[in-house]
Amino acid sequence: MRVLVVEDDPKLARFVSRVLIEEGYLVDCCSDGDEALERGLSGAYDALVLDWMLPGRDGIGVCKALRARGNELPILMLTARGELPERVLGLRSGADDYLSKPFEIEELLARLEALLRRALRSGELRVGPLVIRRAERCASVDGRALNLTERELALLSHLAIRNEQVISRTEILARVWGMNFDPDSNLIEVHISRLRDKLGEHAFMIETVRGRGYRLRQEPPS
């Protein structure tokens, strides 16, 4: 699971990031609302840990902008504003949960895990004839079940989340394998080839964009 931590206090950002990494998450950080919105819309993250008070666009603005664009990224909002009206405003702006500062890191971990569980249970991805049910860890195309490994399912899911967008090899390795880009590795190509074999007549759905990466498409090339 990849989490974006948005916090303009460097010390707190480093602490939260370190704990999340120790718990097995892949973590990126940023410190302003505009970058948080851009990254949140990228489809590269499973959850957002978002501070309310940020330079430029604040956390409330980020939540509203994400939801206005139909983005359902799970959001855990952090803030020193712990009064009831502020909590209500945060939730009504699109945050899924709310944690007041100062907080215990165990509570942050528990709340984040709960958000991700809820997102996973409701997570069904549909791209044309392809259906991915992440809660059941299965996929089908035109009603035919696909016998996928965990890694193949993760790769196909990431392509489906970013439907019609080109995804670089670097991002795929980081997002699906959690490793840095190795220019000599053919890891992605091997898994793409296996996925196409299993998709059969729908193999066209995984398109290679030369020099840029891969994308999932609904219609065959004309």
User: What is the DSSP code string of 16-62?
Assistant: HHHHHHHTT-EEEEE-SHHHHHHHHTTT--SEEEEESS-SSS-HHHH
Instruction: Tell whether the model's pLDDT for residue 113 goes beyond 80.
Output: yes
- Tell me the mean pLDDT in the region 26-42: 90
CATH number of the domain at 124-216, out of 3.30.300.350, 1.10.10.10, 3.40.50.300, 3.90.1010.10?
1.10.10.10
Give the C-alpha separation, 22 to 166, whole Å.
31
Q: Could you tell me which of 195, 216, 173 has the C-alpha nearest to residue 2?
A: 173
Distances (CA, A) of 170 to 73, 162, 176, 185, 218: 22, 15, 10, 11, 24
Domain boundaries, the chain: 2-121, 124-216
pLDDT per position as a tens digit, 142-163: 889 999 998 999 899 888 877 7
pLDDT tier at 184, thresholds 50, 70, 90: low
Give the C-alpha separation, 106 to 113, whole Å.
11
In sequence order, the 6+-apart residues with CB closer than 8 A to the CB of 110 are none
pLDDT, position 121: 63
The type of residue at 208 is: T
Beta-ladder partners of 28: 4
Q: Could you tell me which of 77, 89, 72 has the C-alpha nearest to residue 123?
A: 72
Domains 2-121 and 124-216 alike in fold: no
pLDDT, position 82: 64
Lowest mean pLDDT of 57-71, 164-178, 196-210, name the range: 164-178
Q: pLDDT higher for 134 or 153?
A: 153
Lowest mean pLDDT of 23-27, 102-106, 182-186, name the range: 182-186
- Tell me the mean pLDDT in the region 195-201: 96
Q: What fold characterizes domain 2-121? A: Rossmann fold (3.40.50)
Instruction: Tell whether the model's pLDDT for residue 193 goes beyond 80.
Output: yes
